[in-house]
Structure formats: structure tokens, C-alpha cells
Chain A
């Protein structure tokens, strides 16, 4: 006979204000098999847990049902408490009276009634619970970092410096990401390249890091501690073993008019190219879309000029498979497509540029060698307008979120402009100035007060060209909504940060959830900011949401710490909620008929074939077998099995059935 203990938590007022917890406990006490039922204000607190432990010992409980919050947070807490009192932790279950009841219903008898039903369901389930033992699986102590921007670089270096192997995959020909494109960085105005490039070199030279540039994740199998990643190494058309990076090919390539991605289209590159002089690795790749040989079948100038014979045309992409234990997603962000702002004339007027393009103009390695010159005629703009929130915080345009970095980089742009163009006038149209961060507010004040940037609080309606000037029509809401027209030489849009273009695809490959804007979702916004919902996959940097460099680096180190923590154990303990194929007495052996439709349905390739043999070694029957190391307990196979030969430990058909009956029969 079961002796179930029921413990109803008020969760302060979260449950207690809506559900009559005393009544729930009183009703629960009447259920067959319930030995003890009580309620308490905070069951997860120390006195609450002690209450459970004492009841287990004193009443000899065979099962525990805690009616409280979602099991997501506190199931481990209560299971641990039960284990400490000598009860198998898997004999403890939670009825979610908060998210499933008190938070979604008004106070009333019906709500209390539902809480009682939920408890009754779990009592019926718990009666049929079995003691389970956690599963131990080995961990491959090698990490895969996807993305070679500052986030990936920081994360990879931290993991590698802790003594673990790291594989870094970067889709572009060089690591460095967006940070390598920046001129100076707020709030200290130190040169972006000066602080980044040494780290890039460190990655390339680190004995624990294997770097694959021009590569992408093709597919991912497995689970925490035991992922199998297939990586596509895109054909570079250059043999990196023999290439010395002399650059002769890039100077002689006849296809020279390709807008440079690194310079945001403000400069040109050749078809065989190294993205920028400080690239890591500093060796070229051939852009097949523009290469004359690949497009028209003739040219091969680079091959003729190459002193080491490193050019290799018509190579196929290669695939490699790596066993890794953890994955860090650091795929960063993109800026909004220019066609987003027809009213600002982006694309129509060459002197309307994005913030990232301004970075290139202001950068010493940029197309103007750091002089602010407008793209149209190379003149130095005497009047410049910055438009903040270009796309961001604009629900009508589909981007309700704040891109976070624009306030700060716009202040920096205004400051850099004032430093470089003496006597120039700068205007900043803004909605609010969001300068939360160490020394951020001081930085913005400095731009306004010391460098004389003119800040106007208001939006810009339109930008149009008149007599060679860009007329910016806006409003100054702090001056009584006065209309403002500024005749500018150049306009810079602080375009919204959006998810990286392959983000959705990558999220699906890695089974990571993502939000409506394709940013990857963290497991908990406060308490698990670098974890994803898929165990063993972590995220950092701007692939989660727009982030500045300090936050990116902090999350990158945070993700690295999680990986190092995972790698500190030789074995991983996994929940024993896995599917099991039944066994029965000979001559049946198992009711499994070996149709293996479960194998086709299993998303984790966890189902294998097992041959049942007689004493002479002859195969009598081939049946399905679940590898508990791979099984994630999703139950898809259980629903696919017609003869119910597979069942899920901890969520067996019998348990689920009795839960349903418990609520139907009342």
C-alpha cells in the first residue's frame, strides 16, 4: 500500500492568494494512499524542506507530491531533499499549482478545485512511480565554438587556457567579426584593432585551439557531453599548407571591382582576397561568385602568378566530423538591411550611410585611412547628422526592441567626427539616451558638453536632397515640438542590430530555441543567461540579443565557465527518464516485433537493433533497443509503438493513464 505525502506550498502569495492551500491539503489527505498532507508558506525554504524530510522519516512515506511551482526550477530541490531523507528521489513528483493554476486563474472555488485535481493526478502517478537510478555517461572534453568574433574568441581562449581542446568554426575567411571593423571603442576610445588583433593571433597560435575558417556547421547529432558535429569546410581554392600569404595573387587578380564586405561596400576588393590586412589566417580565398574562372571558365591569373603553386581550382567542399562535449554559439549579429528606410533615402543618396560604414570611414585601416570623407565626392562633410534608433524601438517596422549599442556608438561617432573635423557641426536625433554602463553616461555627456555635439530629442521624418545637400526634416520635441530642418553633408543611420542571417538555420540544426527576431533564447533570462534549452549548448554575445563589447566578453567568459565546469567531471549524470523496450518470458522474449518504425521516428538516433539469440547462438528475434546514453526521454517512440512495447521510465503509459483517469473520474 502506498504511503504518499502531499506538501502544498503557498509560494508566498503566488499560490496562496488565489488557491485555498489549506483546503487543497485537507482534500489531498482524503485521497486513497495519502498518508500525510500539509501546507506551508515556502516549501522550498529550509524549514519547508525539513518538513518533507521529517515526514518521510516519521511516517515512512513511499512517495512525495509537492504542490508548488513548475518542476523546472525546484524539482531538483525537492528530489534532493527526499534523497537526503532516504527516499529515492524519483519517487518525488511536483504538481504545478502556480503556472498551471494560480497564475492563470482568478481566485475562487473552481481554482482551488483545479488545484485539488492537479494534486490528485500526481498522487495517482506517484503511486506507480518506481525507484530509478541516474545514468552516467562519459564526457568528450572538447568544445566547439561557432563564430569567430570577439565572443567566440574570448570563449575559445578561456576554454583553451583551462586546458581543454577547442574547435573554432568561422564562416568568413577570417576571424575577428564585427569588432575588427570598428574604429575606436566606447567608452575609452581605444582602438578596436589594437585590442582585438592580438587576441586573433592568440587563437591562431594556441596549441589547444583548432581553427577552421570559411567553414560552417553542417549537422549536429548527439547530446551533452557527446555531440557529433559535422563541419563543412568550404573550398577556399587555395591550399593553405603551401600558401605563404604573400598577396601576389590579390594584387594581380583582374576582377577588382567587388564591394568589400569588410569595408561595408565603401571600398573594393578582388575576387581572390584576404578580407583585411590583419586577417587571421592571413591567406586568401577565391570568391567563386565573382571569380572570372568560376563564372566564365577562363582566367587563372592567380594560379600563374602564385610562386608556391597554392591555387587549386575546382576542389569540392570537405566534411569533417568532430566529437565534442559542449558547444558555444557565438554567431553575432547583422545590421538591418538598407532597404528598410526608404524615407531616409538609404541606397538612393550615397552620403546616407550606416553606423558600421561610418566606423570604416573613421578607421585608420578603412578606405579613407581614417579621414571622414563622404562616399559621393570624397569631400569632408562640414555638417553631419546622426539618426539614432533607425529601425530600433519601432514596432511599426517590426523591431520593437532597443538595439542597445546605438546610443553609445552614436555618441562616439559624434565625438570622433568632432575630433577629426575641426569646426564641423554634428547633430544627433535621438529618442532617449540609454547610457547605462560603467562610464557610459559620462562618455555621452563628454560628447555633448566638451565636444559640442548637438543633441536633438526627436525623430526624423524624411531625408531628401536639395542643391547637393541632404535636408534632414525632423522635430525637436524639447523645444515645443518645433520642426527642424538641417542641411547636412552626410547622414549616419544608427541601424538596428538584427540576428545573424543564418541564425534560424543554425538554431534548427542545434535544436536551440530562438525568439521572434531569430535571436537565440537563453534558458532563463536572469538565472541561466548563457545556457540554452538544449543541455550542453551555450550562447554568448550578440547572437542572443544586441550587446556591446563589454557585455559580449562577459557572456563569452560566462559560457566558457559553464563549459569548463562541465568538463571538470569525467562522467555526466543524466536523468533516468529514458525509453525502455520491454522483456518477457520465452518464447516471446519481448513483445517488440522489430518493425523499427521507432527507429525512423527517434530524433536522437537512440534506437539500435538487438539480436536475441538462443544457446547455440542462432538469432531468434531482432528487437529494438534504446541506448540510454542517447535517449532524451521525448517519448516519440512510445507513441509510435503500436504494441506498447516501449515505455518511458518515470512517465510510463500506466502512470500517464492513471493521471488522466484521476482527473476524468472525479
Chain B
């Protein structure tokens, strides 16, 4: 803990950064903190309770535009950062990343390429809860599944908190705002809510870090993170993992790719 404080302080004092995105103690668990100078660094905390994906702020030009930024990144934030790098959104010129290993050690990354290298060997924290829930849904009949998602999505009132919490949702104009043609009906009904979620999840294919922030953000507790969790699983099984290729698993072809899904 003091390690991080000292390190970030150094970064500020050496002029390497002028903004640090990290965590401070919150009411129930650590919450995001934007540190703007060396003095504020003593509020910082960084441990395994810090699971929120802070990478979401890295594409917010209004918050970080023109600044030199440091970030405390959980495992999933590292994955998001790696994907954002391959999507040309981040650059070594202004970003310094500090991670946390599974055994609680600080990881200092000299460059974004090192993040990518680290992820090749690091393994994801287990998601037993999600796996269990997905298994339960898979055990349902098609009708039951339809009923389950219809019930869940009937609650949605399209606040788009899921979109705001997602590091991968950084488009200037989201598809829900495209109205020529109007791909997704703007009002909140079960069907149009499904249209939105299906689109959101499809847009995550091959990009999602599986951090679960979308589900966390939902004020109605709709388990939409199960959709991205299941999809990440499907993409990994059929197209491989992102990481070794520039771009997206769905757009890169390798002769050894499985083709068993082609009928």
C-alpha cells in the first residue's frame, strides 16, 4: 500500500504524470479516486477489493484529455487496457500503468507492450458465481430461457449505465443514437431492450475483458454481465483468445482456426 503511494508520489514529482486514477476507501468498498497532485496520494489504496474497472476513464477525453495519466489497474482493467491499445486508443506517450498481481504484489509496467506480455501468462481470477449462473441458464429449456430474459429485460429502462461503465463503449456516437436507419427502437420495452442488449453484447465480441462492470452498474440488478461472460467463453472457444494478434479475433484468420461452426 505504502509502495503505491510512494511510487505515485514519485511519478508526480518527476513530472511523469499529472493525473493518477486509483482507488480510495469507500463506504462499502474502495471507490475510484482521481489524484491530481503528490499530496493527495496518501488517500490511495490498492488491494484485491479494488475490482472496479478504472480503464473506463481512459477514453474519456473530458477527464483526461491532454494530461499525463497513471492508472491503478486490476486484472480486468489490464485486459481492457490491452484491448484499447490494439484499438489505437491509448499511447505510451501519456499513460503509465500499475497493476496488482494475484498474490498482491505491485506490477510496474514500463510500457503498454509489457502489459500485453504480462497478460499472456497471467490467469484470470476465477468467476465461480458467473459460471454457476450461466450453467443454471443453460440447464433451462429454450422457453424457460426466453421467459427468464424477457422477465429480466422487461425491467430495463434504458439508463445506459451498462454502457457508461464499460471501457469498451467509447464510441462518439453509439449505435442507439444512430437514427438513419433507427437500428434500435429508442423507447424501453422488453423487445427494444433486448435489441439493445443483443447489440451491446455483439459489439463486445472479441473485445470484452469479462470484467462484469456492466452488470455491477445496472441499477436494477439485471444480470447482463452473464451475456458478455458467456459470449467471451464462446469467442474464446471458437476463435481463440485475443492477445497475440493485432486487431480482433473475429477479423484475423489463421489456417489452424476451427471451422466446425461453418455448416
Binding site for B on A (CB under 8 A): 588, 591-597, 599-601, 622, 640, 642-645, 653-654, 657-658
Contact = CB atoms under 8 A, between A and B. Distances in A.
A643 B173 contact: yes
B88 A622 contact: yes
A658 B182 CA distance: 10
Nearest to A653: B181
B89 A595 contact: yes
B251 A601 contact: yes
A596 B87 contact: yes
Contacts of B203: 642
Contact of A594 (B88, B246, B250): B88
Contact of B247 (A588, A594, A597, A653): A597
A304 to B, nearest CB: 43
A657 B251 contact: no
B251 A597 contact: yes
A595 B180 contact: no
A593 B172 contact: yes
Q: For the complex of A and B, list the 4 residue pairs with the smallest distance between their C-beta atoms, beginning with the closest.
A: A600-B247, A657-B181, A601-B251, A595-B87
Interface string B103-137: 00000000000000000000000000000000000
A622 B246 CA distance: 18
Nearest to A621: B172
B113 to A, nearest CB: 18
B252 A643 contact: no
B172 A591 contact: yes
A601 B87 CA distance: 13
Contacts of B87: 595-597
Contact of B181 (A596, A597, A643, A654): A654
A595 B181 contact: no
A15 to B, nearest CB: 31
Contacts of A657: 181, 183
Interface in B212-263: 246-248, 250-252
B164 interface: no
Describe B's contact surface by its main secondary structure. Answer: loop
B178 interface: yes
B159 interface: no
Contact of B170 (A593, A599, A622, A653): A593
The listed residue with most B CB atoms (<10 A of its CB), out of A595, A645, A657, is A595
Contacts of A592: 172
Nearest to B171: A643
A600 B248 contact: yes
B100 interface: no
A379 to B, nearest CB: 51
Given A594-B88, A622-B88, A642-B203, A600 B251 contact: yes
B175 A642 contact: yes
A657 B183 CA distance: 8
A642 B247 contact: no
Contacts of A642: 171, 175, 203
Nearest to B246: A600
B139 interface: no
A654 to B, nearest CB: 5
Nearest to A655: B181
Given A591-B173, A595-B87, A601-B251, 18 more contacts: A591-B171, A593-B170, A595-B88, A597-B87, A597-B248, A600-B247, A600-B251, A600-B252, A601-B247, A601-B248, A640-B250, A640-B251, A643-B174, A643-B178, A644-B173, A644-B183, A645-B173, A653-B180
A597 B205 CA distance: 12
Contacts of B172: 588, 591-593, 643
A593 B59 CA distance: 10
